[in-house]
Chain A
Amino acid sequence: MVGGKRFIKVLLNVVAWIVSLIMMIPLLLMFINSLKDKAQADAMSMELPKKLIFHFENYITVIEKGKLFTSFFNSMIYAGFAIIITVIFTLMASYVLARNKSKLNNFFYFFFILGLAIPVSYIPLMKIMQVLKLNNTMIGIILIYAAIQIPLGILLSYAFIASIPVEMDEAGIIDGCNPIRLFFSIIVPLLKPVTVTLGILCFIDAWNQFQAPLYFLNSATKWPMTLSVYNFFGQYSQSWNLVSADVVLTSLPVLIFYILGQKYIISGMTAGSVK
């Protein structure tokens, strides 16, 4: 019986390791091949570079030809501004929706949450973007990213705000705060946890967005990293060493972000579903 238990324990450990390896190998494969020359990378194997000569120059080639600095900078701008807009707008909206549960506000809450299901209608949106003169502009992309995040943002922050005692508001009112001051100087500091969660979620989502820029950005100088890596692949699909280097560099920012804030990211990304 004891032997059986030990066997099961070993088995569980083995399964966990196998699955972890399956999750790790694809990126490892890219990393190894990013350091090979073109001929060896064609085989795309897990073999180490020949004679252990590491071709770091692949990275320099990619940075120059793939215009990685520009697209990194673009992705940062898109994700950064989208986060700010989403966080401010959703916190403000959920605060009022959660505090004053009038019939109209309850309807609005439901209406926002329904957005979790509604797909973005890119083609009619193109028409609207034309009218607003936002086609092929960075502001247009930022606003779309922010809008996409609003339903989830409201779902998350609504539940959190509901857990803050109303007495906080009343105290502020008695002290003579107006609504804006009450919200920004008393409520917002209490919303730190949900703000962090929202920020992380928005960042990862915005960083990985592909469809909106694909529809709306036709000038390469405005492309985010996802779009430029895809187009880089289109051009250099014969040079897997370069494609691998591009993949590594594009994933690096999110991976570093993940390693640093792993705990917050895992709980943050699943917080949407498990409040």
Chain B
Amino acid sequence: MKKKIYPFYFILGALVLYLVFIVIPGIVGIVYSFTDWSSYSKEVHFVGLDNFKIIFSKDENYFKYIFNSIEFTFITTIAKLVIATVLALILNENIKARNMHRALIFMPAILSMIITGLVFKSILNPESGLLNQILRSIGLGSLAQQWLVDLKFAFNSVMAVDTWKGIGYTMTIILAGLQSISPSYYEAADIDGAHYFSKLKYITLPLLRPAINVTIVLGVLYGLKVFDIIYALTNGGPGYATEVVSTSIFKDFGLGRYAVASTMNTVMIVFMVIVGMLTVKMLTKEEVNM
């Protein structure tokens, strides 16, 4: 009976698109990572684990790219979460024009990463960039840096820009979490004479757990795949300082090294499916009321 009312063909459209454009390419990529597929020859041979040996060998930089992706994910996720939580706590207080502040802080979330990248390329320009201009004009010229050019600063600068863009989005999720906490907890704590920080520690943060988990999951899923912001800001440079997995895949694609690129892709897929399995279970269970 149920099969009749809820027929299988309703699923087909989504399933076919999802299979053809997401799942099957992933599987094909896994197969190609055991071959020597490239733009240089028409024939494709099976080469066993050669590509994996290249990726994990010490003479190549691929391992560093993987590490960079993980570092990027870890740092931006934490930075966004901490700053966004502080901001959400502030904007949850009764301050003036708080809806306007929320809207302004959220705004970068709707901009494209490419636009964000171009804008910050200007702001972080060593000579004429706004950031160094401001530092010089308030007498902190010694802090002015070659933000995107210096090996020491480039990756941190990229992560800072990404954090700038992501804070508002994270903050909105945390705010929704804050608003779902029943005021009666705070009333009870007030009767007991609790301080702001003890309320924060024993009521707010524990009850924010689901919202915090969601932002961590989103941060991890986004960070490991990051491409646009790095491509626009530094394109992996200087040297390989800001190269991550997806930008290295695009570079190998440009060089015609399809098999190596597919292998990097395979490493990423395997990793992400494991992360996904763990987090998706959580995502489908967590509920925060909006």
Please report the C-alpha to C-alpha distance between residue A208 and residue B109 in the assembled complex, in whole angstroms: 11
Q: Among A15, A22, A215, A247, point to the contact of B253 (Cβ < 8 A).
A: A215
Chain B residue with Cβ nearest A146: B17
Chain A residue contacts of B7, Cβ below 8 A = 96, 179
Is A124 in contact with B28, judged by CB distance below 8 angstroms?
yes
Chain A residues with a Cβ closer than 8 Å to the other chain, count: 101
Is B118 in contact with A150, judged by CB distance below 8 angstroms?
no
Is B173 in contact with A143, judged by CB distance below 8 angstroms?
no
Chain A residue with Cβ nearest B106: A266
Q: Which B residues, 247 to 263, have Cβ-Cβ distances below 8 Å to chain A?
A: 249-250, 253, 258, 261-262
A127 to chain B, nearest CB (A): 6
Residue A42 is within 8 A (CB to CB) of chain B in the complex: yes
Chain B residue contacts of A230, Cβ below 8 A = 114, 118, 232
Chain A residue contacts of B103, Cβ below 8 A = 262, 266
Contact with B along A208-233 (1 / 0, CB 8 A): 10110011000000000110011001
Q: Which A residues, 11 to 65, have Cβ-Cβ distances below 8 Å to chain B?
A: 12-13, 15-17, 19-20, 22-27, 29-30, 33, 42-46
Is B115 in contact with A250, judged by CB distance below 8 angstroms?
yes
Chain A residue contacts of B57, Cβ below 8 A = none
Q: Among B13, B22, B105, B276, point to the contact of A120 (Cβ < 8 A).
A: B22
B37 to chain A, nearest CB (A): 9
Chain B residue contacts of A169, Cβ below 8 A = 5
Is B109 in contact with A24, judged by CB distance below 8 angstroms?
no
Chain B residue with Cβ nearest A108: B11
A-B contact count (CB 8 A): 289
Chain B residues with a Cβ closer than 8 Å to the other chain, count: 101
Given contacts A16-B90, A20-B104, contact A207 B284 (CB under 8 A): no
Residue B4 is within 8 A (CB to CB) of chain A in the complex: yes
Residue B123 is within 8 A (CB to CB) of chain A in the complex: yes
Is A117 in contact with B280, judged by CB distance below 8 angstroms?
yes
Contact with B along A67-100 (1 / 0, CB 8 A): 0000000000000000001001110110111011
Chain B residue with Cβ nearest A177: B5
Is B14 in contact with A120, judged by CB distance below 8 angstroms?
no
Residue A128 is within 8 A (CB to CB) of chain B in the complex: yes
Is B3 in contact with A100, judged by CB distance below 8 angstroms?
yes
Chain B residue with Cβ nearest A262: B103
Residue A188 is within 8 A (CB to CB) of chain B in the complex: no
Please report the C-alpha to C-alpha distance between residue A90 and residue B11 in the assembled complex, in whole angstroms: 8
Contact with B along A241-256 (1 / 0, CB 8 A): 0011001001100110
Q: Among A147, A173, A251, point to the contact of B21 (Cβ < 8 A).
A: A147
Is B18 in contact with A147, judged by CB distance below 8 angstroms?
yes
A167 to chain B, nearest CB (A): 13
Q: Among A42, A110, A225, A269, point to the contact of B109 (Cβ < 8 A).
A: A269
Given contacts A19-B105, A274-B288, contact A30 B119 (CB under 8 A): yes
Q: Among A153, A251, A270, point to the contact of B173 (Cβ < 8 A).
A: A270
Chain A residue contacts of B177, Cβ below 8 A = 274
Is A243 in contact with B125, judged by CB distance below 8 angstroms?
no
Chain A residue contacts of B114, Cβ below 8 A = 208, 210, 226, 229-230
Given contacts A24-B104, A143-B21, A182-B5, contact A114 B119 (CB under 8 A): no
Q: Which A residues, 113 to 130, have Cβ-Cβ distances below 8 Å to chain B?
A: 113-125, 127-128
Given contacts A120-B22, A125-B25, contact A273 B173 (CB under 8 A): yes
Q: Among B4, B90, B231, B276, point to the contact of A118 (Cβ < 8 A).
A: B276
Q: Which B residues, 196 to 239, have Cβ-Cβ distances below 8 Å to chain A?
A: 211, 214-215, 217-218, 221, 224-225, 227-228, 231-232
Q: Among B6, B119, B123, B268, point to the contact of A96 (Cβ < 8 A).
A: B6
Is A251 in contact with B115, judged by CB distance below 8 angstroms?
yes
Please report the C-alpha to C-alpha distance between residue A155 and residue B284 in the assembled complex, in whole angstroms: 8
Please report the C-alpha to C-alpha distance between residue A173 and residue B5 in the assembled complex, in whole angstroms: 8
Please report the C-alpha to C-alpha distance between residue A29 and residue B110 in the assembled complex, in whole angstroms: 18
Residue B91 is within 8 A (CB to CB) of chain A in the complex: yes
Given contacts A108-B15, A114-B280, A119-B269, contact A233 B101 (CB under 8 A): no
Chain A residue with Cβ nearest B232: A230
Is B110 in contact with A116, judged by CB distance below 8 angstroms?
no
Chain A residue contacts of B211, Cβ below 8 A = 274
Chain A residue with Cβ nearest B112: A208
Contact with B along A127-159 (1 / 0, CB 8 A): 110001000000000011011101101110000
Q: Which A residues, 159 to 185, have Cβ-Cβ distances below 8 Å to chain B?
A: 169, 173, 179, 182-183
A273 to chain B, nearest CB (A): 4
Is A254 in contact with B111, judged by CB distance below 8 angstroms?
yes
Is B221 in contact with A117, judged by CB distance below 8 angstroms?
yes
Chain A residue with Cβ nearest B210: A274
Please report the C-alpha to C-alpha distance between residue A144 and residue B17 in the assembled complex, in whole angstroms: 8
Given contacts A100-B3, A154-B14, contact A123 B29 (CB under 8 A): yes
What would 15 A/B residue contacts be, using CB atoms closer than 8 Å?
A23-B108, A27-B119, A44-B122, A93-B13, A93-B14, A117-B221, A118-B26, A119-B224, A120-B21, A121-B25, A128-B25, A147-B17, A211-B246, A258-B107, A274-B173
> Which 5 A-B residue pairings sit nearest by Cβ, starting from the closest?
A117-B276, A147-B21, A208-B112, A89-B13, A93-B14
